[in-house]
């Protein structure tokens, strides 16, 4: 049973994953393929931690499958966001080039 603020947990895990995986090291010169790789790592880390934190009950093969699915969702979400933010015309890309 989850008895904590899930939205707050999600926000904190996103912050931790992006910090640990190196978002702060991204510059205007960082190629997009490197940014996507950073986003993939962060998304997998986030997804794994989020699924594990929300799980209650015994550790089973079903949990492993849910963690894998959550990792994939996290990876897709982070890569999509990174593409929007750091891609051509993206808000953060524009800020980095100023």
* pTM over cut 0.85: yes
Q: What does the chain come to in residues?
A: 98
d(CA 17, CA 1): 24
Q: Give burial (CB, 10 Å; 0-12/13-18/19+) of 33.
A: exposed
- pLDDT classification of 1: cutoffs 50, 70, 90: low
Query: What is the C-alpha separation between 22 and 28, in angstroms, rounded?
Result: 14
pLDDT in tens, 16-54: 999 999 999 999 899 999 999 999 999 999 999 999 999
């Amino acid at each position: 049973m989850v008895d904590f603020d899930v939205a707050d947990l999600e926000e904190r895990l996103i912050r931790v994953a992006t910090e640990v995986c190196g978002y702060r090291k991204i510059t205007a010169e960082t190629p997009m393929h490197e940014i996507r790789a950073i986003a993939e790592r962060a998304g997998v880390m986030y997804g794994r931690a989020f699924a594990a934190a929300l799980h209650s009950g015994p550790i089973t093969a079903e949990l492993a499958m849910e963690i894998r699915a959550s990792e994939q969702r996290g990876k897709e979400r982070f890569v999509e966001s990174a593409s929007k933010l750091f891609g051509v015309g993206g808000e953060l890309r524009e800020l980095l080039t100023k």
